[in-house]
Amino acid sequence: MIAFLLRRGVLLLLTVWAVFTVTFFLMRAVPGGPFDVERAPPPAVERAIAAKYHLDDPLMKQYFDQLGSALCGDLGPSYRLVDYRVAEVIAEGLPRSLILGGLALIVALVLGIGAGLAAAVRPRSALDTLVMSASSLGLALPNFVIAAALVILCSFVLRILPAAGWGGARHLVLPTLCLALPYAAAVARLVRTGLLEACAEDWFRTARAKGLSRLEALCGHAMRPGLIPVVSFLGPAAAGILTGSLVIEQVFAIPGLGSHFVQSALHRDYPLSMGVVLLYTVLVGTLNIGADLAIRLLDPRTGEIE
């Protein structure tokens, strides 16, 4: 296991370096700069700003300077958020994004596993058809479309939930559902398929022959192997929820990391954009490693982790 973690850790570091390099050069290849305005300042002011933020240095020197700062965990000050360093902006917005993403992942798992189990108990029944139809609809609709529908229904028609903002628990309901529902649909389909495959095994028929009901056999014997596809999906799902929160935070005016990332991209705030991109890369890589470890715990037949 130690060798496996070391190998994956090295691959993650190489991935982070590759993402850093591509992001650095792509941001500077886009026309415009972080201090471009409709009315250009005097040349002396432009030179002073460029010198302050080392934008007048050769491109490769900027690359290695920012790479060294990233290795030290400090990407410097934000160009647009005056008197704030990138680490401070991330520390302020990250907890809100993690709360939203964590709640969405929990809701997706609870709804998806429950719906998939219900469909597997009575395959080809009306309930099974309803679950599969709802999951197909959830997979087809993007989360911003779901957000618009839920805001119209819950905020303007029923008037039971706030349409936007960040405050109490009521403000989390709509954005959490918008993030969770598409992934709950995918989890439901995976659980149903995994459980039905387990039902064809000899050990499942033996459990039924001993007098267990179909629900008892599914929960007691088939659930563990049936959840392996779900665990495999957790890494990409967590990554999708994190990246999907960029849009949802803008829709619901949540002051999380996603809104900072969108604004930094619009304003060419190079250090802040780089910090958010690297953070997301590390989070996604770490979650994928955790998902691989969980698969090994659920099914040791997947191979020995060296």
Q: Where are the domains of the chain?
A: 93-300
Nearest to 101 by CA among 275, 279, 296, 294: 279
- Enter the tokens of residue 208: 């039924």
Confidence at residue 305, expressed as pLDDT on a 0 to 100 scale: 44
- What is the reported pLDDT for 45? 67
The token pair that represents 29 in the structure block: 């290849």
Q: Does domain 93-300 have CATH number 2.40.37.10?
A: no
Q: How far apart are CA 65 and CA 57, in angstroms?
A: 10
What's the pLDDT score for residue 298? 67
pLDDT given at position 209: 81
Residues 260, 268: Cα–Cα separation, whole Å: 12
Per-residue pLDDT of the chain in tens (306 residues, 90 and over written 9): 677 778 888 999 999 999 999 999 988 887 766 666 556 667 776 777 777 777 778 889 889 988 888 888 888 888 877 778 888 888 888 888 888 888 998 999 999 999 988 888 888 889 889 999 998 988 888 888 888 888 999 988 988 888 888 877 888 899 999 889 989 999 999 988 888 888 877 777 887 887 788 788 888 777 777 777 887 787 778 777 776 677 788 888 888 887 778 778 777 888 888 888 888 888 888 888 887 777 777 666 655 544
Which residues have C-beta within 8 Å of that of residue 304, sequence separation ≥ 6? Answer: none
Mapping DSSP to helix (H, G, I), strand (E, B) and coil, where does residue 85 land?
strand
Look up the pTM and report it.
Answer: 0.78
Rounded to 5°, the CA angle 145-147-151 comes to 125
* Amino acid making up residue 165: G
Q: How high is the pLDDT of residue 243?
A: 67
What are the distances in angstroms from CA 67 to CA 21, 73, 141, 160?
9, 10, 39, 48
